[in-house]
Every structure is written in structure tokens, then in C-alpha cells.
Amino acid sequence: MDQIIGGLNYCIENNNSKEDALKAIFETHIQFEKIHHFSDDNGRKGRIVINYFLLENDFPPLILKKDNRNEYIKILGEAQMQQFPD
């Protein structure tokens, strides 16, 4: 976790644009969700972490409505497969 958060902090501090910072935050969220091993509350912890970094960098929080949960899980799974193919 120290490596992941350290890498994210480095990317945010050395970003060239707000878009680069946002991309780094979302990529870290994808990575966190892939490695975090507690499946029963993985999403809650991941969303707390991403919202912390979003708010710290003047972005609005990620609000996941119950109706969009399945779409979020699908998109997250697809992103994980692209970023970390087995």
C-alpha cells in the first residue's frame, strides 16, 4: 500500500495537468481494487480511498448510486483486465 500511495502522491505532485492527476487517481483506484484481498468490503474501502484523493485535489467525490453499481463493477473489471491481464 505504501508503494501504491507513494506512487500516486508522486504522480499528483508532478502532474502536468488536472487531467493527469485525475487519471492517476483512477488508475490507482483500479490497482487498489485488484490487489485488495477483502472481497466483502473491498468496494467501500476503495471508494473511501479514491474520494479522499479526489477531494484533496479539488475534484468532486465519486458518488456511486445503487442503480449504477453493476455498471461500475463491469467497467472496473474491464479496466483491471486491460491494466493487469492474467
Q: Tell me the mean pLDDT in the region 45-53.
A: 87
Q: Report residue 25's pLDDT band, with 50, 70 and 90 as the boundaries.
A: very high
The pLDDT tens digits for 54-84 are 999 999 999 988 898 888 888 888 887 886 6
Q: pLDDT value at position 3?
A: 86
What is the domain range of residue 56? 2-83
In whole angstroms, give the CA distance from residue 61 to residue 36: 21
Number of domains in the chain: 1
Q: Tell me the mean pLDDT in the region 44-56.
A: 88
DSSP per-residue codes, the chain: -HHHHHHHHHHHHT-SSHHHHHHHHHHHHHHHHHH---TTTHHHHHHHHHHHHHHHTT-PPP---GGGHHHHHHHHHHHHHHHS--
